[in-house]
Structures are given as structure tokens and as C-alpha cells.
Structure 1
């Protein structure tokens, strides 16, 4: 009864356009007060929920991603992707998926990625004769896939709330993202032949070499991250500092198109976003306390007990719930409210924690781009000047490809666990 009342307060606050993070905070405090619990729980939960070294990686990665997008690295990646796969039928559509994989690795923020890909790729897609519905679908589906490519902020947060290694989780994301990328590229290949999409470029070794040289600046970053993690050179927090320093040097001494004033603004925006994430983690810990004393974990364990012999079905059900949370509440609130409740159940079922986290990360990425309310999808549709009603029929095959890739990750845990095991990050 208490949780229903707290949920009602939260919904009312959201209806009145209060930001989600503050709506969570107000409803959590109201739950403690209505339930008659000691208000000291509030202060202790706020402190315990926000103290983690790994959270220091968030401002560094956000700053680096914003700086790289501002100095034009996304354009270099787009040109390289078009030279790499543009010579096949529907190559421009495939290049959207490829560059989404590359760019996710340097951006870290889904909204920044949608903005960069939409502004960079929508005009050439339109010029090449792609329908606006397909252009928006390619950008949305590619960005949804990119949630699995480090350094996603969501991965840092989910590592914090499940007390797992962010480094191992970063390593676990590369191969699953590639699997979903291949599923999407297969769909593009099929649709290119069905709708006679054009070839984008001719095979040209000189063009490939030239674009690869320009793209080498941003492509150094995933190599550094992957090599540093596998070699045990730095932690996730230190990786954030390394990437931010690299972005600063590249922007000042190679691109030379970002002023110190603009860098200061990007740093300020990074600090604001980090503060909202940390505050979200803090107030979510109060929710976790309320759910614990209300017996929600025990109730869920009983409800899900028939699935103990079928871990894959448990992962499928929790992924479906997470997608719905991701569509309605965005990614981070879904992580800090839902996942801490179901994670202990997964542990009791002997599901590998990193496999579980990768499945939930993929599910949140898909949820952000699900119609009719996914905030990432709505942003992609703005670039195409489309409504959800005009777009959804064309988008369904792309959602099917994303879900098929997610199903493969669920059914074959080694897709996620191969790389961190090979690196010695997990047993």
C-alpha cells in the first residue's frame, strides 16, 4: 500500500512536469514520512548511495564526448564508415549502423549521439533517396545498439548499483554490440534490395586510406580503452581521465576549432549532468530501502520462482520489464529503481552478474528508442520531422532486429563473457 501511494505521488509530480530526479526525491521522502520511518534513513541513504570512486568517470567521459562531437570527430567517422561499407547496395544505410558503433565508443551520451548522427547523416540519407521513416529508423536503431559500447554512462551506473566491476562490464559490451550491429546490417541489406536503395560510393582504396587517416584520431580512443583494460593499465575512472586529456589535446592542437570558453561551457554541462546522476543514485537508495522494508524483493522472488529452472526466460522477462521502464522513465531511473531489486534474484539463480548487466543494458538501450514514448526515438524523429504515428510501421523491422540480437545475447552468455574472461577481468 505504501509503495502504491509513493508511486502515485511520483506519477502526479511527473504529470506536473517536475524533473524525474526531483520527483523521485520528493516521493521517496514522502514514503519515509508516511510510513513513519526514521528520517535519519534519508541522510544515511543519500550519503551511501552517492559515494563511489567509479562515478568520477562520468564527468570525464561526458566532457570528452561533448568535446569530440564539438570539434567534428563525428564527421570523420561518418566519412570513414561510408568509405568502408558505402560501396555495397544500401551502403549509406549500413554506414549509419557502423558509425553508431564507432561514435558510441567516444560519446558516452545517447542524446548527444542522436544529435550528432541526426545532424550529420540525415541530409545525405535524404539526398540519396532514403525515406525519412527509414532514415530516422536507422539513426534510432543504431544509437540503441550503441548503448552496449563503452563508455556508456549507464554502464558506470549499473556497475555501481550492482557492485560489479565497471572495467569488466565495459569489456563485456563490445562483442554483444557487434552482434546487434550485424543483425541491423543484415536487415539493411535485405531492405536495400527490396526498396532498391542506391550504392553510396565506389570501391576506392585511396578514399578508404584518406578517410581512415582522418578517422584515426577518434578511433584511437576505443583502442586505448580496450588495450588499457585488457592490460590492466588503468581503471574505469582513470580511463575517463585519459580519454578527457586525449580529447583536450586533439581539440586544441589538431582540430584547433574549440576555444577555452567553449571547453569551460562543456565542463560546466558535464558537471551538471554528473550532479544529476549522483543525486539520482542517492535518492534511489531511499527507494531501495522502502522496497526492502515493504518486502518487494521477497515477493518478486516468490513470483519469479517458477523461472529458476529457466534462467533464459527470467532474463527475457526482466529485459522486457526494463525496456518498459527505459521507455517511460529513461535509462538511469530504470537502472537505479528496478535493477537493484531483481539483481539479487538473478544471483540466486546463478546467472553471471555481468551477463545479467549486459542484458539489462541492451534492454534499456532498446527501451529508450521504443514507440510511443522513448525519449531517444522522439529526438530522432525531430530531425526527420516525423510523428510516431507516421513512423512506427517502418520502424517495426528495426525493432525486430534489435530484439533478435538481444535474444541471442540472452541465449548465448559467452557472447558477453568471452572478452572479459579472455582479459582475466572475470573468472
Structure 2
């Protein structure tokens, strides 16, 4: 009964608009007081929840993304993507997706993609005559590629909680991220055909070469990060530090687009973002610890497996459950709470923790595109000066290819497991 009361308090607080971290903390503390447990448990659990070397990667990946945005790197990436795929029908829609794939290898966060590239992409598409709805919809959908292709902040959080190799998770995300990009480009082609969207420009090898030369150094960022991790040169945390150092080197020494004032400002923004993330991690750790201590995961697993032992049906139930929770809960909080509950069930039916991590994160990325939480939608509503409700409607068609990819990844493990098996196993 106490567990049900805790969930009820949490959902009521979320519905009335209380911040996620505060909601999780209040619900957990009320449970502890109700059960007569010592209050010091709260402090110890929160500290242990964030006391992880791997979590140090989070502020550095965030800072690297901010530095790339501030240093004008996003414009170079967009120009390169434009020369590469802009000649296709619906050219700027394809450019939007391609730029997100490239930027995904630098930031690892959907909101950073939407806020950084989104401003450039939506303005360019509007100037070229594309509908605002289409521009906002494809920008929102393509931003979800960021947390799947390495480096990925949600995969770092998942790896810490699930005690799973971050390197394997990063390798597992590459092919799924490219599948997402391909599916969205198919959708763009369909829209271009029925709405007669123009090609951006003719393909010119000389223009491609020029834009590539301008973007080649930023394009080395994902090579440094992923290559360093996969070859064992870096741990994920060290790779994040290397990404920041490389970003500062490009901005200060090569392009001279960064100043020390810029670096100070983005560092302050990084501190604020990191503090909010770690607060969510800390309070959700209390919540997850309560669930684990009361054997809620075992209870859930036993009842689900008693209902059916069909692997396909169980995966569909888990997928539906995560999709629903993702609509109401911030990604990091959802990961921290869901992993201790769902991972034992996944392992019981033979799902590899690395494969399950990709399924879980992609599920939760769809939550960024759905109300009422939908953080990407709120960012793009501000960037594009479009009402939130209109952003929701504009993004809805692009959920079709993303859900299709989710189902493919869920039921064909090779898409996510081939690369980590090749490199690590």
C-alpha cells in the first residue's frame, strides 16, 4: 500500500507542475517517514546515487555541445550537410536529418540538438519556402537521433545504473541512429513528393569539397570520441574531457570564434544544466532504492511472467509501458526508476542489457516529442515562435518512422548488437 501511495503522490505532483526532482524527493521522503525509517537514509542514498566516476562525463559532454554551438560549429556542419544531401527532393529536410546525425556525434543530447541546430535549420527552411509545420516536425524528430548515436548522455546514465559497459552501449547505438536517420529521410521524400518541395541546389563536387574542408575539423570530434573509446585509449569520461579540450582548441586557436567570456558563459550554463540533471539522478535514486528494497522489481517480474511467458508479448508490454511513462516523466528520472524494475524482466526473457538499453532510450526519446512533458517541443516552440500545440501536431507524422525503427530494434537484436559483438566480444 505504501508503494502505491508513493506512486500516487509522485503523479499528482507531476500533474500539478512540480519539478521532477522535487516530486521524486517529496514522494520518497513521505514513504520513508510513513515507514518510520531513519531520515539519514535519504542523504546517504542521494550521495551514493551521484558518487560515480562515469557521471563526470555528463558535464563535459554538455560543455562540449555548448562550445560547438557558441563557436559557430553548427553553421559549418549545416553547410556541409547541405552540400551533401541538399540536392535531393525536399533537400533541406534531408539536410536537417544529416546535420542532426553529425551533431549527434558531438553533443549526445536531443535538447542541445534542437536548441543549437534547430535555430539554423528552421530559419533556412522557412526562407526556402517550406511549411512551418514541416520544418518544426522534422527538426524535432531528427533531434532524437542525438541520444542514440554516441556519445549519449542517457546511455551514460543507463550504463551506470545497469552496470553495463558504456563502450558497448555507444557501439550499439550507431546503427540504430543511422536507421532512424534513414527512416526520417524516407518520410521527407514522401512529403516532398506530395507537397512538391524543391531541391535545395544541384549537386556540385566543388561545393561539397569546400564545405567539407570547412567542416573537417569539427567532423573529427565523433571520430576522437568514439574511436578513443572503442580502441581503449579513453574511458567515456576521458573522452568527454578530450571533446571539451578539442572544442576549445577549435574555437580559440583555429576558428577564433570563442572568447574567454564565451567560455565563462557556457561554463555557467553547463553548471546549471548539470546541477539539474544530478539533482534528478539523486532524488530518483532514492525512489529506485525504495522500489528495490521493497522487492518491487521481483514483484513486477513475477506477475508479468505469470501473465505470459511469450517473449514478444512481454517486449510489447514493456515498450507500451515505457512509451506511456516517457510522456509524463523526464528522461533521466525515467531511466533511473525504470531500469531496476524492467531490466531483471528483460534478462529473465533473454534480452542482453546492452540491447535493452538501446530499446529503453529510444522509447524515452519518443517521450520528448509527446505532451505533456515533451522537452524538445517546448524548445522548438520557443526557437520557431510557434504555439506548443501546433508543434505537437506538426511532429505527430514523424512518430511513424521512429516507432517503426523502435519495433525493428526491439525484435531484431542484430541491429544493435552486431557492432558491440564485433568490437568487444
Aligned counterpart, 1:211 = 211
Classify 1:193/1:309 alpha carbon distance in 2 versus 1 (closer, same or farther; 3 Å).
same
Larger mean CA deviation between 111-120 and 192-201 belongs to: 111-120
Counterpart of 2:305 in structure 1 is 305
Whether 1:185 aligns to 2:185 is: yes
* Cα RMSD after superposing both structures: 1.9
Unaligned runs of 5+ residues in structure 1 are none
Q: With the length of structure 1 as denominator, give the TM-score of the two structures.
A: 0.94
Would you say the 8 A contact 2:297–2:342 is kept in 1?
A: yes
For residue 281 of structure 1, report the CA deviation from its aligned partner.
Answer: 2.3
CA distance in 2, matches of 1:39, 1:126: 55
CA distance in 1, matches of 2:277, 2:75: 29
Give the deviation of 1:232 after TM superposition.
1.4
Indicate how the Cα distance of structure 1 residues 255 and 46 shifts in structure 2: closer, same or farther if over 3 A, else same. same
Q: Does 1:195 align with 2:181?
A: no
Q: Could you tell me how far apart the structure 2 residues matched to 1:106 and 1:35 are?
A: 45
Cα distance in structure 2, aligned partners of 1:392 and 1:154: 23
User: Residues 373 and 268 (structure 1 numbering): CA distance in 2 closer, same or farther, change over 3 Å?
Assistant: closer
Contact 1:312 1:410 in 2 (8 A): no
Distance in 2 separating the partners of 1:165 and 1:144: 22
1:291-343 deviation digits (Å, cap 9, x = unpaired): 23444212311332157644343333323322222221121111111222111
SS across alignment from 1:292:
helix
1:66 alignment counterpart: 66
TM-score by length of 2: 0.94
Larger CA deviation: 232-241 vs 294-303: 294-303
1:223 positional shift? 1.1
Gaps of 5+ in 2: none
What is the CA distance between 1:388 and its match in structure 2? 4.8
Report the CA distance between 1:393 and its aligned residue. Answer: 4.8
Q: Shift in Å at residue 56 of structure 1? A: 1.0
Give yes or no for the alignment of 1:127 onto 2:137: no
- Would the aligned equivalents of 2:327 and 2:368 in 1 still touch at CA under 8 Å? yes
- Asked if structure 2 preserves the Cα contact closer than 8 Å seen for 1:327 and 1:375, the reply is no
User: Within 2, Cα distance between the matches of 1:205 and 1:295?
Assistant: 61
Give yes or no for contact 1:57–1:237 (8 Å, CA) kept in 2: yes
Q: In the alignment, what sits opposite 2:249?
A: 249
Alignment check: 8 A CA contact 2:140 2:369 kept = yes
**Is the CA contact (8 Å cut-off) linking 1:97 and 1:181 kept in structure 2?**
yes
Structure 1, residues 251-281: CA drift from partner, whole Å, max 9, x if none?
1111212221221222232233323333322
For residues 105 and 348 of structure 1, the distance between their equivalents in structure 2, rounded to whole angstroms, comes to 33
The residue that corresponds to 1:6 in the other structure is 6
1:76 Cα deviation (Å)? Answer: 0.7
Supply the distance in 1 between the matched residues of 2:8 and 2:82 (Cα, whole angstroms).
Answer: 49
Question: Which deviates the most, 132-141 or 260-269?
Answer: 260-269
What are the superposed Cα offsets for residues 129-148 of structure 1, whole Å, 9 maximum, x if unpaired?
Answer: 21111111100110123220
| Higher mean displacement: 298-307 or 84-93 | 298-307
Alpha-carbon distance between aligned partners in 2 of 1:46 and 1:394, rounded to the nearest angstrom: 39
Matches within 5 A, 1:269-308: 269-305=269-305
Count of equivalent residues: 425
CA distance, structure 1, for counterparts of residue 139 and residue 389 of structure 2: 18
- Separation in 2 of the partners of 1:253 and 1:260? 12
How has the CA–CA distance of structure 1 residues 307 and 243 changed in structure 2, closer, same or farther, with 3 Å as cutoff? farther
